[in-house]
Structure 1
Amino acid sequence: MPAPVDPSPEFSGADPVLVTGAAGFIGFTLARRLLAAGRRVVGVDNLSPYYDVRLKEARLAVLAEQPGFTFHRLDIADRPGMADLFAREKPGLVAHLAAQAGVRHSLTHPETYVDANVVGFLNVLEGCRHNGVRHLVYASSSSVYGANTAMPFSVRQNVDHPLSLYAATKKANELMAHCYAHLYRMPVTGLRFFTAYGPWGRPDMAMFLFTRAILEGRPIEVFNHGHMLRDFTYVDDLVEGVARVLDRVPAPDPAWSGDAPNPATSTAPYRLYNIGNTRPVALMDMIGVLEKALGREAQKIFRELQPGDVPETYADVAELEAAIDFHPTTPIEIGIPRFVEWYRSFYGG
């Protein structure tokens, strides 16, 4: 039986939702979704140069056109700055999506992952703790499953064998969140995202990289000789799940037992969910759909599996569906053409 959650409370529309990483791919899409629903959004981002800042500025320009949006340029690792922000804005809900992303980047820049994903997350937890935040929802990642091979990945599985520092920091977030939920009875929900893609996506991700290379007539690098499966999740589906979870405050699980602990629940107000499309797609099939949408064939260079990568991801979303009556459904045959349409309108080609 799924663990219970409290019924959705009627949150005051006057209470802002704090969205960290608001200039990022998922943070921007969530902020736009919340604003369209009439909610006030306080966005936070440091506009890191990890990828093209002009894309982040363009996302913020879209958000700035909507009433109810306030933006603070701030690094979440700035402890005094974050404490001041929470004290001034008094958010009722927090969607923490800011992070240093990317498995491969973590191999060469490990310190940035500790700063953003560990120190920054601690500052968010402290802000929530000291300012009466009713629910913190934060982004974890399918990367935490690491060396696991039992499919589909379930939140009930042990995830103690990460394969990259990025994954380790996300697992650390889950542990830190549970500590705060246990010690301070602070409601916290973690969401393990599976391979998000779609309009306004991140330039360091495969679909974006492939699209740019194909349009520019350059070859694409296909890792593990194409023998990869990914649970590609369309971004609008993903943020719909996040928005619904925000209003579902977790309650302690009365069935939880320390003799047979369920990693996804607790005697504290704490939950973990997967958000994925539940239909893993072969990398070569994804490339085929992308080629069709672009009207061009890709030149392919086949490579070995890179350190830190996993060959397959596949989400079990049973707990999420039971909690919010929703799971992602957009197939790549619909999502990829939408991404290509956006890419061409934004970049040309």
Structure 2
Amino acid sequence: MNEPVTETVLEVRDLVRHFPIRQGVLRRTVGVLKAVDGVDLVLRKGETLGIVGESGCGKSTLARLLTAHDRPTSGEVTVLGRSLYDLGGRELRRARRHIQLIFQDPYTSLDPRMTVADTVREPYDVNPELAPRGERDRLVRELLEAVGLNPDHGGRYPHQLSGGQRQRVGIARALALRPEVLVCDEPVSALDVSVQAQIVNLLEELREEFSLAYVFIAHDLSVVQHLADRVAVMYLGKVVEMGSEADVYGSAAHPYTQALLSAAPVPDPALRGTLQEIILEGEPPSPIDPPSGCSFHPRCGKAVDACSLTAPALAPVDGAGHLAACHLAADPAREPVPRAR
């Protein structure tokens, strides 16, 4: 893991994204879908922050908000000290050079009419002041080599590449502007398992080579554990636990995090069946009509009366920087869920 550093490159304050629900001929607003509901994050230089949670918890919406591909209902995203949502036009484009997005699906995130070289060169065409025209072909070749592609791939189209090669092209395109932050929105979920390992290893190498900080979003807990320095767990649009990788995976404080960890496959056959298994009842609540109090309480086997009445705030638990939004998280009788390392 990286050494802890203090310089903040990305800060998120009380980020909210609610989508209006409209019905009828007049398209009247009859409710809101709370996709992201009050998220606070900090990312430091050279750090990888993992974001985990089940499908529908708001992870991908958060990714689009971080890179200003979507605008929030309220809240702020600051990149290198500049608030993205205070900017527009050319100023926003300049600010977004510092934070780039790697998309989930390499099959749809590339233009099928553009060659690989044209795709990687496009950021320089949009931002011509960053590289003289005569230097762009060389820069494209260097980027393709950096992500493990042969420069000869530059003349190919996306349909002539494998899934892993397409994702490497997407990574090269994101690196073209030399960003400080990469937001990786489930970048390996659409790939074969063997290819996933190659892309994860590549991202580790690039983090060192280009001095990058990552926001790595995934539902695969083992991938996040391998890459992340710190982990934030999301449930129904909120962060319910946050801490170092060791805190979250070794001493989970929130019942939802404990349930996620218990459901993850255990690679060591000797440990299978020895770890606590937690079976959640029911389905995740709708973000259109979330429960009162703690949004997890209808599925939580440890819930008490207070859980249905008051929404808990993120508060310190058993370690520096280890936070959980649970009324019972600070209970000294809480039993951590040990995980295989």
If the length of structure 2 is used for normalisation, what is the TM-score? 0.32
Q: In terms of Rg, which structure is larger?
A: 2
Higher strand share: 2
If the length of structure 1 is used for normalisation, what is the TM-score? 0.31
